[in-house]
Chain A
């Protein structure tokens, strides 16, 4: 990897009282990279992601997102990023089109641009027929693909994905990763947390957190070599146990 990092975290620390949720994290993520953020429940992933999204301040450390400072420029950061979570992404009682328009407007896109881009997107996803359907009436797999496409609709520099593929069938899960690869190919940086260890292997690099610290950070292939493991599942279990 080369060039200027799009995410740069130096000595990122976050404390809640005496509890150190993020303990001196150091990592860079580069443009177009698919970066996996793995760790046990409670390892501190969510805390770190919230800081990187400009939703919470670190206790100390120097962190820049797309060149902006997480202490002073959180509003600028928010414009440069997209976010998708499995738990909440789209509004159930709005239609497919209304959801897209809602998000696009929040990011300040012009009505005309929204219109043409929506048609392109719906055609690309083969969703044109579902344009006026309410989100609650479409299958989970579609929702996830749509949620991802909405999260990158304003062409952010980075998209954060929090457990994006939970609960979908194996074919849909792979179609979802096709969208991720495409976005990465276009230069969008993908920052993804997941519990599926095979998905960790789809990432360019993976960081593994344990008790607030980053304990491993490398390409999946190098991690498997280093830990004498056949897959990331083994690597993770060796590290976290």
Chain B
């Protein structure tokens, strides 16, 4: 048995003139929580649709649990769960009817795999007689995940499950995914939220159909080869402008209340920068060396 659940070899896919996925190769381990991280147009959805056998590649090949995505697509469909980006359950069926329907399509019952979905489904079970269309966003998401899991898939594909979802629901959703890992399900999840990368075992950072980097979040951070500082003063907009005009400036990016800054000199020295900011009339100057986030790394990789 291979240690890999999904093996992707040199896959490319174009829509007319638009090249959506450009020669991508990735191996995803069994039981891994693997993140496809990147903005819209990165190729995340196309890649997921290829792996779920909903779309054919132009060139390249892939296997899911040893099955070929072209020749053995029917076998793949039986062993994967898929939660598309748009809510795609039956709006005019009840919660319970949707779940039973998905169970019966895969030749199983709710009772048989209840343990697997219990943590998730128990949140919406009190509303099981309600039509799916009448659920709140967070509840729809839980129902969709329950339906994608009801046949105990070996591989679970989630296409932007947390897009447009508030911070609390996002946190809950990731806790559910973490819990699912105990069942040795391989989970492939895409997201535009960079802060979610840290919750994955490994990630592929994707931009315009290409993979910028594949590694654990920690290793990606370690590859950031500049000394990074967070800078803060009383006037943020002025600080942004002044830092951009600073002669030693290499990069300036707003991160929440701070500005992340790298210097051409790349030393740990901050005296010169502090002097410059004082001359520019900044007050309450705070400069601190920090570790890069995935978003810092993504920005840096985009420039290369």
| A residues apposed to B, CB below 8 Å | 39-43, 139-140, 163, 166-172, 174, 177-178, 181, 184-185, 195-198, 201-202, 220-221, 231-233, 236-237, 240-241
- A40–B40 CB distance below 8 A: no
Q: Does B138 contact A (CB under 8 A)?
A: yes
Q: Does B169 contact A (CB under 8 A)?
A: yes
- B167–A236 CB distance below 8 A: yes
Residues from chain A with a CB closer than 8 A to the CB of B39 are 140, 167-170, 172
Residue of A166, A170, A196 ringed by the most chain B CB atoms within 10 A: A170
Q: Does B198 contact A (CB under 8 A)?
A: no
Q: Does B137 contact A (CB under 8 A)?
A: yes
Q: Which of B126-134, B142-150, B294-302 is near enough to bind chain A?
A: B294-302
* Given known A-B contacts A172-B39, A198-B256, A167 and B171 have beta carbons under 8 A apart: no
Residues from chain B with a CB closer than 8 A to the CB of A201 are 256-257
Residues from chain B with a CB closer than 8 A to the CB of A178 are 240
Residues from chain A with a CB closer than 8 A to the CB of B41 are 139-140
Q: Does B253 contact A (CB under 8 A)?
A: yes
* Given known A-B contacts A42-B136, A139-B41, A170 and B168 have beta carbons under 8 A apart: no
- A241–B168 CB distance below 8 A: yes
- B237–A181 CB distance below 8 A: yes
- A166–B254 CB distance below 8 A: no
Residues from chain B with a CB closer than 8 A to the CB of A232 are 256
Contact with A along B18-42 (1 / 0, CB 8 A): 0000000000000000000011110
Residues from chain A with a CB closer than 8 A to the CB of B171 are 237
CA A182 to CA B254, docked complex, whole Å? 14
The answer, among A40, A177, A220, for a CB contact under 8 Å with B257, is A220
CA A201 to CA B257, docked complex, whole Å? 5
- B166–A39 CB distance below 8 A: yes
- A166–B168 CB distance below 8 A: no
Given A170-B194, A170-B299, A201-B256, 12 new contacts (CB under 8 A): A40-B138, A41-B138, A140-B39, A166-B192, A168-B39, A169-B39, A170-B302, A172-B39, A174-B254, A201-B257, A232-B256, A240-B166
- A240–B167 CB distance below 8 A: yes
CA A181 to CA B254, docked complex, whole Å? 12
CA A40 to CA B251, docked complex, whole Å? 34
Distance in Å from the Cβ of A109 to the closest Cβ of chain B?
Answer: 28
Residue of B136, B165, B168 ringed by the most chain A CB atoms within 10 A: B168
Residue of A39, A168, A171 ringed by the most chain B CB atoms within 10 A: A171
Residues from chain B with a CB closer than 8 A to the CB of A166 are 163-164, 192
Contact with A along B24-65 (1 / 0, CB 8 A): 000000000000001111000000000000000000000000
* Given known A-B contacts A42-B136, A181-B240, A195 and B256 have beta carbons under 8 A apart: no
* Given known A-B contacts A169-B207, A185-B237, A201-B257, A41 and B165 have beta carbons under 8 A apart: yes
Residues from chain A with a CB closer than 8 A to the CB of B298 are 169-170
The answer, among B136, B163, B254, for a CB contact under 8 Å with A202, is B254
Residues from chain A with a CB closer than 8 A to the CB of B168 are 40, 236-237, 240-241
The 4 closest A-B pairs by CB, nearest first: A201-B256, A167-B40, A169-B39, A40-B166
Residues from chain A with a CB closer than 8 A to the CB of B254 are 174, 177, 202
* Given known A-B contacts A181-B240, A237-B171, A171 and B257 have beta carbons under 8 A apart: no
The answer, among A163, A172, A174, for a CB contact under 8 Å with B164, is A163
- A40–B302 CB distance below 8 A: no
* Given known A-B contacts A139-B41, A231-B256, A195 and B166 have beta carbons under 8 A apart: yes
CA A221 to CA B284, docked complex, whole Å? 14
